C-alpha cells in the first residue's frame, strides 16, 4: 500500500461517492431515519480520519456539516430541499479539500458554506429546546476502559483526540495507568504501553460513546454502564480485529468501519496488480493452447488427459480472475443521478432519472472508460432531446420528463441503454446538417437508421446554439471512439416526438476475448465472437459478383457480404471450405467471406506495435497454439473500411 494519506484519500473518495448516493436517496425520502444516520456516519468517518491524516481544515469543515445531521437525528431539524442542495455543495467542497491535500489552509468557501449550514440547521429547528428526544435521555455514568493495541500509535491512532472527544460528552475523570510500562531496558518507544480508565457522566447515551470509538479499531474498549440503578454490565465493544495482522493491512481493515460501503470482508488491491495477474493469465492461456496442440500431435493418452485437466484448471482460474475484475455499474449510475439533477435545474427542465440494472457487473477497465461517454449521452438527451416544460405540455406529454438508464447482461455482452422521452431525433435536420458538413452527398439515399448513425461522425453537432452543457466540440464522435476502443458498438433508435434510445453494447472484459478463428489465405484471423451472429456456407452462385460485395439470402433477409481476401489484397485461394461469417454491427448485418472457419478460440489481445496499430480493421494480435501470430479483427472497422473503399470505387 502507499502512504497513509493516499489510503485516506482513496477511502474518502469512496465515502464521498457513497455520500452522494445517500444524499440523493434522502432527497427522495426525507423522513428516512436510517438514511440520515448513514449521512451522519459517513461524515463522522470523514471527519475522524481526515483529522488523523492531517486534513485539519477538512475535519473542521466536516464537523459543522456533521452537526447539522446530528440535529436532524435528534429531531431538532428537518430535511429540506435546501439542506440537500447545501449538502451536495458541501460534499463537492470536501472533494476539493481532499484534492488540495493534507495541511491545506481553510478555503474562504468553507466559511460561507458553514454559515449557511448553521443558518439552515438553526432555522429549521422549531421545536428545539424543549424537544422530547433530548429530554428523554437522562444522565448516565459510564466507566470506560481504553487499552490501546501495542501498534496503535504506529498505526496513527490519535489517543489524545479520542480522549478529548470523550471529555466533550460530559464530565469526565480520566485516569492513566502505567502499570504495563516495561523497564527502560526493554522499552520500545514506538509501542503504546499506557492504558486509561475514564469515568464519564453524560446525557448523550451509550451510542455517543460508541461513536467516539468508531474508528479506534486498534484499541480494546470496554464500556460499563455504572449508573446507580442499572446493573453493572460489561460489554466488550471491539476486539481489535487486526491484532494479529501486520500493520500495513490497516487500510483494508479500516474499510469495515466505512459506513458508505456495503459490509463485507474485502481486501483492497491496486488495480495494477490485477492487470499484472491478467497479463500472466494471458500468457498461461497461450501456453496452455500450445500444450493442447502438442498433446494432440503426439497422441499420447496420458499427456492428452493432463492437458485437458490443465485446460479446465486454466479456464476456472480465468473465470475467477475475471470475476475479481468485475464491478457492479451502480456507482457510475449514481454519478448520473447527480448529473441529471444538476442539469435539469440548470436548464429548467424537470427530469427524473430511472436507473435499472445497477447490479450488472462489468470489467473495471470498461467501467473506468465508460463514465465520460455515458455522461455525454445523458447530457445530450437532456439538452437536445428533452423539450422545455411548455413544449411538453403542448405535445400532451407529462411535464416531468424521464431518462431511463438500463444495464443488463446479454450473452457475452453488456448492454447499456439510455432512453429519453423527448422530442426524438429529427432525421431531416440531421440530413441537412450532414450535407452541409459534407458528410454525405445531397442526393444520397439513407435510411433513418443510417441518418441517426451520422450523429457519431466527427464534426457533427445539431445544436444550433452552444450551451454550457453540450456542443462544446467533443461530440458524439468521441463517444463512438471510446466505445469502439472498448470493442463495443453504439446503436441509436429514435421516434420523432416519442424519444430516443442510445444503446451501448460492450464486451464483458477487454483482456481476453472469445473469438472465432478463421483463415483468410494463408493467414489466421480472430473475429471477436461478440460481433459474430452465425456462419453460413457460401453458395457458389453468389460468389461471382465483380464488385467484391454481394448479397446473400439468409432465411428471409438479404445480407450484403464482402470477401476478406479481396479487401486485404490477399491472393485468392481455391478453398472448398469458404464460409460467410455473418457479423452484426450497430444493428446492421454484414457477411465476411473467409477461406476456412477453424472454430471458437479464446484468446488474449496483445496490442499492435506502432507500425501496425493504425491499420483500420485490426484490433490486436495474439499467438496461436502452434506459435504462429494471428491478427484480431475489429469487425466494425472492417465493415466501415469496406464501405468506404466501395464509395471510393463507386
Partner 1 sequence: MADDRHDNASEEMILTFTLDGEIFAIAVSHVNEILDPLPVTQAPCADPFAPGLINVRGAIVPLVDLRQRLGMPPVVVGESSRVLVLDLTVGGEATKVAMLADDVDDIADISSAELEPVPELGVRWPVSLIRGVTKKDGVLVIVLDAEAAFAPTSSQSQKN
> Could you list the residues that contact partner 1 (CB under 8 A)?
283, 286, 520-524, 567-570, 606, 608-612, 614-618, 621-623, 627-631
Distance from C-alpha of 494 to C-alpha of 427, rounded to nearest angstrom: 9
| Nearest approach, Cβ of residue 620 and partner 1 (Å) | 9
- Residue whose C-alpha cell is 449521452: 377
Grid cell in block for residue 165: 472527544
Strand order in the sheet with 596-604: 596-604, 512-520, 523-528, 629-633, 618-623
Helix (H) or strand (E) holding 588: strand 588-594
Q: Which residues contact 41 (CB under 8 A, 6 or more apart)?
A: 214, 259, 260
**Residues 36, 26 contacting (CB under 8 angstroms):** yes
**Residues 500, 418 contacting (CB under 8 angstroms):** no
Distance from C-alpha of 316 to C-alpha of 414, rounded to nearest angstrom: 21
- The secondary structure of 30-60 as a DSSP string is TT-HHHHHHHHHHHHHHHHHHHHTT-HHHHH
Distance from C-alpha of 3 to C-alpha of 437, rounded to nearest angstrom: 52
Distance from C-alpha of 246 to C-alpha of 226, rounded to nearest angstrom: 36
| Nearest approach, Cβ of residue 624 and partner 1 (Å) | 9
| Nearest approach, Cβ of residue 607 and partner 1 (Å) | 9
Strand partners, 416: 407, 504
Distance from C-alpha of 513 to C-alpha of 534, rounded to nearest angstrom: 17
Strand partners, 158: none
Nearer of residues 109 and 287 to partner 1, judged by Cβ? 287
CA angle 61–62–65, rounded 5-degree value? 100
**Residues 253, 217 contacting (CB under 8 angstroms):** yes
Nearer of residues 119 and 612 to partner 1, judged by Cβ? 612
Q: Which residues contact 372 (CB under 8 A, 6 or more apart)?
A: 478, 482
Grid cell in block for residue 507: 464486451
| Nearest approach, Cβ of residue 460 and partner 1 (Å) | 21
Nearer of residues 183 and 614 to partner 1, judged by Cβ? 614
Nearer of residues 355 and 638 to partner 1, judged by Cβ? 638
Q: Which residues contact 404 (CB under 8 A, 6 or more apart)?
A: 353, 354, 355, 356, 417, 418, 419, 420
- HSE of 276 in the Cβ direction (CA atoms, 13 Å)? 5
Nearer of residues 421 and 565 to partner 1, judged by Cβ? 565
Nearer of residues 301 and 611 to partner 1, judged by Cβ? 611
Nearer of residues 126 and 569 to partner 1, judged by Cβ? 569
Nearer of residues 442 and 569 to partner 1, judged by Cβ? 569
Q: What's the Cα-to-Cα distance from 257 to each of 61, 75, 209, 528, rounded to whole Å?
A: 21, 25, 15, 43
| Nearest approach, Cβ of residue 628 and partner 1 (Å) | 6
Distance from C-alpha of 157 to C-alpha of 213, rounded to nearest angstrom: 11
| Nearest approach, Cβ of residue 443 and partner 1 (Å) | 30
| Nearest approach, Cβ of residue 528 and partner 1 (Å) | 17
Phi and psi at residue 396, in whole multiples of 5°? 75, 25
Helices marked H in 29-141 — which ranges? 33-52, 56-73, 81-100, 108-123, 132-136
| Nearest approach, Cβ of residue 627 and partner 1 (Å) | 5
Distance from C-alpha of 495 to C-alpha of 474, rounded to nearest angstrom: 25
Q: Which residues contact 505 (CB under 8 A, 6 or more apart)?
A: 413, 414, 415, 488, 489, 490, 491, 530
**Residues 630, 517 contacting (CB under 8 angstroms):** yes
Distance from C-alpha of 96 to C-alpha of 23, rounded to nearest angstrom: 18
Nearer of residues 154 and 640 to partner 1, judged by Cβ? 640
Amino acid at each position: 500500500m502507499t502512504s497513509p494519506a493516499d489510503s485516506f484519500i482513496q477511502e474518502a473518495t469512496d465515502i464521498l461517492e457513497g455520500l452522494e448516493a445517500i444524499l440523493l436517496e434522502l432527497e427522495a425520502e426525507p423522513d428516512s431515519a436510517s438514511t440520515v444516520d448513514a449521512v451522519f456516519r459517513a461524515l463522522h468517518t470523514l471527519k475522524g480520519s481526515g483529522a488523523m491524516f492531517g486534513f485539519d481544515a477538512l475535519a473542521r469543515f466536516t464537523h459543522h456539516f456533521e452537526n447539522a445531521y446530528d440535529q436532524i437525528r435528534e429531531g431538532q431539524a428537518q430535511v429540506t430541499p435546501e439542506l440537500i442542495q447545501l449538502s451536495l455543495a458541501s460534499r463537492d467542497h470536501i472533494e476539493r479539500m481532499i484534492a488540495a491535500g493534507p495541511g491545506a489552509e481553510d478555503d474562504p468557501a468553507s466559511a460561507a458554506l458553514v454559515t449557511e449550514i448553521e443558518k439552515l440547521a438553526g432555522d429549521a429547528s422549531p421545536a428545539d429546546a424543549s424537544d422530547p428526544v433530548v429530554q428523554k435521555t437522562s444522565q448516565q455514568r459510564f466507566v470506560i476502559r481504553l487499552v490501546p493495541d501495542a501498534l496503535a500509535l504506529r498505526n496513527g491512532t490519535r489517543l489524545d483526540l479520542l480522549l478529548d472527544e470523550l471529555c466533550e460528552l460530559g464530565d469526565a475523570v480520566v485516569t492513566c495507568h502505567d502499570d504495563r510500562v516495561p523497564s527502560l531496558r526493554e522499552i520500545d518507544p514506538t509501542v503504546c504501553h499506557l492504558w486509561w480508565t475514564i469515568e464519564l457522566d453524560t446525557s448523550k447515551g451509550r451510542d455517543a460513546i460508541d461513536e467516539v470509538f468508531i474508528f479506534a479499531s486498534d484499541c480494546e474498549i470496554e464500556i460499563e454502564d455504572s449508573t446507580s440503578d442499572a446493573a453493572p454490565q460489561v460489554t466488550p465493544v471491539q476486539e481489535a480485529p487486526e491484532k494479529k495482522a501486520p500493520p500495513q493491512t490497516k487500510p483494508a481493515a479500516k474499510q469495515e468501519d466505512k459506513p458508505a460501503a456495503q459490509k463485507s470482508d474485502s481486501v483492497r488491491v491496486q488495480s495494477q496488480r490485477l492487470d499484472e495477474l491478467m497479463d500472466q493469465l494471458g500468457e498461461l492461456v497461450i501456453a496452455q493452447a500450445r500444450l493442447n496442440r502438442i498433446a494432440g500431435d503426439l497422441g499420447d493418452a496420458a499427456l492428452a488427459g493432463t492437458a485437458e485437466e490443465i485446460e479446465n484448471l486454466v479456464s476456472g482460474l480465468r473465470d475467477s480472475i475475471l470475476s475479481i475484475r468485475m464491478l457492479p455499474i451502480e456507482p457510475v449510475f449514481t454519478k448520473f443521478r447527480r448529473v441529471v439533477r444538476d442539469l435539469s435545474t440548470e436548464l429548467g427542465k424537470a427530469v427524473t432519472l430511472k436507473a435499472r440494472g445497477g447490479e450488472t457487473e462489468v470489467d473495471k477497465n470498461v467501467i473506468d472508460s465508460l463514465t465520460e461517454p455515458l455522461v455525454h449521452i445523458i447530457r445530450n438527451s437532456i439538452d437536445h432531446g428533452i423539450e422545455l416544460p411548455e413544449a411538453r405540455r403542448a405535445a400532451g406529454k407529462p411535464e416531468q420528463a424521464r431518462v431511463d438508464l438500463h444495464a443488463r447482461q446479454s450473452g457475452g455482452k453488456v448492454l447499456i441503454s439510455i432512453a429519453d422521452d423527448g422530442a426524438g431525433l429529427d432525421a431531416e435536420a440531421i440530413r441537412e446538417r450532414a450535407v452541409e458538413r459534407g458528410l454525405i452527398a445531397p442526393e444520397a439515399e439513407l435510411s433513418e437508421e443510417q441518418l441517426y448513425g451520422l450523429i457519431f461522425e466527427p464534426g457533427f453537432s445539431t445544436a444550433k446554439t452552444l450551451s454550457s452543457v453540450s456542443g462544446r466540440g467533443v461530440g458524439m464522435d468521441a463517444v463512438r471512439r471510446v466505445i469502439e476502443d472498448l470493442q463495443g458498438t453504439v446503436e441509436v433508435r429514435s421516434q420523432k416526438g416519442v424519444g430516443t434510445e442510445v444503446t451501448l453494447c460492450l464486451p464483458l472484459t477487454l483482456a481476453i476475448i472469445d473469438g472465432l478463428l478463421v483463415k483468410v489465405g494463408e493467414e489466421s484471423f480472430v473475429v471477436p465472437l461478440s460481433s459474430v451472429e452465425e456462419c453460413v456456407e457460401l453458395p457458389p452462385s453468389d460468389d461471382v459478383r465483380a464488385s467484391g460485395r454481394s448479397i446473400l439470402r439468409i432465411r428471409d433477409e438479404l445480407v450484403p457480404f464482402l470477401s476478406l481476401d479481396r479487401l486485404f489484397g490477399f491472393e485468392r485461394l481455391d478453398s472448398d471450405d469458404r464460409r460467410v461469417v455473418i457479423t452484426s454491427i450497430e444493428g446492421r448485418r454484414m457477411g465476411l467471406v473467409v477461406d476456412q472457419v477453424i472454430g471458437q478460440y479464446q484468446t488474449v489481445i496483445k496490442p499492435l506495435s506502432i507500425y501496425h496499430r493504425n491499420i483500420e480493421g485490426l484490433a490486436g494480435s495474439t499467438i496461436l497454439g502452434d506459435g504462429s501470430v494471428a491478427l484480431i479483427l475489429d469487425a466494425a472497422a472492417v465493415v466501415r473500411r469496406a464501405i468506404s473503399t466501395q464509395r471510393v470505387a463507386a
